[in-house]
Amino acid sequence: MSDLFSFKGAKGAGWSQPEPSLDNEHLMNSIPEQLRRKSLPNWPRASEPEIVRHYTWLSHRNFGIDNGFYPLGSCTMKHNPRVNEKIVQLPGMDRIHPLQPEHHVQGLLAIYFEMQEMLATCSGMDQVTLQPVAGAQGEFTAMRCIQEYHKSIGQQHRSKVIVPDSAHGTNPASASMCGYEIIEIPSGSDGCLDLDALKSAVGDDTAAMMITNPSTLGIFEHQIAEAAKIVHSAGGQMYYDGANFNAIIGKTDPGRMGFDAVHYNLHKTFSQPHGGGGPGSGPIGVKQHLRQFLPTPLAGRREIDDSDRGGVGDGYWYFWEDVGKDSIGKVQQWNGNAGAVVRSWAFYRRYGRELEKMSEHAVLNSNYLRYKIMNPDKEVIEKIHAMPVDGAASKLVMHEFTLSMSPLKDLNGVTGKDVAKRLLDYGVMAPTLYFPMIVPECLMIEPTETESKEVLDRFAKDFHTILSEDPNIVTTAPHTTDVKRVDEVWAARNLILKHPGEDEI
């Protein structure tokens, strides 16, 4: 048995720390017999320098926002300010335990409370919970609240959720996980909501409509208030997918547009690092009539006399507030992803009341880049279409825009995917590809506010170069990356998620 520990100090252990002070026998006795390994797993062995080199090598094979421009539409891959890391690593943040009593964690609770308040203000909602840890989990949580609300007013028969055909896939997936049937409605030719289609979709069985504004085409839905009236008069609720918050913060808010519930992606709008599945944070905000159904607990506060604690404090006592008997319960082990909340708080604090500047720059960058790509070159315009092609909305976009590579494909067989892969050779991450599905050969580009004019100019230039390159080069790209073009269908159908040695555990 002691063999299981002895490899720690041995050559090939992957680390060089002193042996733990507890003896092996003591450690082993604290583990129930049935949970103990009978033999060592067949994991590769390497020394500490070899391990460090291995992971450094792996990190070089990857592409991240710190390597280059990352215009991944709908994902808001903005720079992650390093000051946020400093703040989240302060001892009062990273040396605390989730189960510590309230009087030990007043600072963190104050940050939670302030984030709830700030997000509620920015979105025009009455109450926010920070518990969900992804946008999709936020959607699910809010849809469950809507479901419980309808039950509480005797309207449990409402079983349908309306989504536009430009919706992100998580919207129908989350609603469907709650047991709802999905009704998809088509967009108009200008890419905006088709109110006639909405009118014929709503009915006595409508539970909600889920929509993002600006839409995934980067277009502000100017008829949103009208859409909200249609849904509300049928007895349904309006759900706002806040993934595109970067475009509107400080300018307008979903509450004003007529929404009842919203989620935010702190890992997009508020610069929490993301990618590769996490770690994220997807708080939701709701209007008062949905508050009692929120997951429990919320961060609360009450006024106190600070002289009781030597005048130290801000005059409030912060605590975990139970939502009450109607709560849908917890949706996460703890009360959210605290690290993501603290980083996002640090980010917003630096803007303060000027948060709207972030959106202004994001929208400016997006329109500038779109203009640089599309104008004034006639040759370019013949190879790609800025989408949607017609309507007033095609002239100005919000924080992101979509291009259709269909004309290029018709011309020389080069697809949107080929152009995206070729961009990797130019040191740029591929934009979002083939989403939204209503745009043929779609590239969706979101520059974010953190990129400079020089970066955008360079991207437009490289993009133009690719459009006139030899199709044989583009269709076989990427050529300079460690991993070349992979067989995505094979990879999706033959997932390899563990080391072969793990089979022996």
Q: How far apart are CA 234 and CA 295, in angstroms?
A: 27
Size, binding site for ligand PLP by CB under 6 A = 14
Q: Which is nearer to ligand PLP, 150 or 399 (CB)?
A: 399
Least distance to ligand PLP, CB of residue 89, Å: 24
Q: Which is nearer to ligand PLP, 168 or 287 (CB)?
A: 168
Q: How many CB atoms lie within 10 A of CB 44?
A: 11
Do the Cβ atoms of 424 and 477 come closer than 8 Å? yes
Q: Which is nearer to ligand PLP, 118 or 243 (CB)?
A: 243
Site for ligand PLP, residues 202 to 241, rule: CB under 6 A:
212, 216, 241
Least distance to ligand PLP, CB of residue 447, Å: 16
Q: How far apart are CA 412 and CA 128, in angstroms?
A: 51
Q: Which is nearer to ligand PLP, 212 or 448 (CB)?
A: 212
187 in contact with ligand PLP (CB under 6 A) = no
Least distance to ligand PLP, CB of residue 297, Å: 22
Least distance to ligand PLP, CB of residue 345, Å: 18
134 in contact with ligand PLP (CB under 6 A) = yes
Q: Which is nearer to ligand PLP, 446 or 449 (CB)?
A: 446
337 in contact with ligand PLP (CB under 6 A) = no
Applying CB under 6 A, among 78, 144, 158, 168 the residue interacting with ligand PLP is 168
Torsion-angle region of 65 (φ positive above 0: left; ψ -120 to 50: alpha; else: beta): alpha
Q: How far apart are CA 11 and CA 140, in angstroms?
A: 49
- HSE-up (13 A, CA, CB side) for residue 430: 20
Q: Which residue is nearest to ligand PLP (CB)?
A: 135
Q: Which is nearer to ligand PLP, 24 or 332 (CB)?
A: 332
Site for ligand PLP, residues 46 to 105, rule: CB under 6 A:
74-75
Tell me the window of 77-85, 129-137, 220-228, 455-463 that interacts with ligand PLP (CB under 6 A): 129-137
The DSSP string of 315-382 is: SEEEEEEP--TT----SSSSSS-HHHHHHHHHHHHHHGGGTHHHHHHHHHHHHHHHHHHHSS-HHHHH
Tell me the window of 90-98, 131-139, 154-162, 334-342 that interacts with ligand PLP (CB under 6 A): 131-139
Q: How far apart are CA 183 and CA 206, in angstroms?
A: 9
Do the Cβ atoms of 241 and 167 come closer than 8 Å? yes
Least distance to ligand PLP, CB of residue 402, Å: 13
Residues constituting the chain? 505
Partner residues linked to 303 by β-bridges: 316
User: Which parts of 66-215 fold into alpha helices (H)?
Assistant: 82-88, 91-94, 106-123, 135-152, 170-177, 195-201
Q: How many CB atoms lie within 10 A of CB 193?
A: 26
398 in contact with ligand PLP (CB under 6 A) = no
Least distance to ligand PLP, CB of residue 317, Å: 33
191 in contact with ligand PLP (CB under 6 A) = no
* AA identity, residue 135: G
- HSE-up (13 A, CA, CB side) for residue 50: 8
Q: Which is nearer to ligand PLP, 106 or 170 (CB)?
A: 170
Applying CB under 6 A, among 193, 198, 243, 442 the residue interacting with ligand PLP is 243
282 in contact with ligand PLP (CB under 6 A) = yes
Least distance to ligand PLP, CB of residue 142, Å: 12
**Is 72 in a helix, a strand, or coil?**
strand
What element of type H or E holds 97?
none
Q: Which is nearer to ligand PLP, 243 or 346 (CB)?
A: 243
**Residues interacting with ligand PLP, by CB under 6 A?**
74-75, 134-136, 168, 170, 212, 216, 241, 243, 265, 280, 282
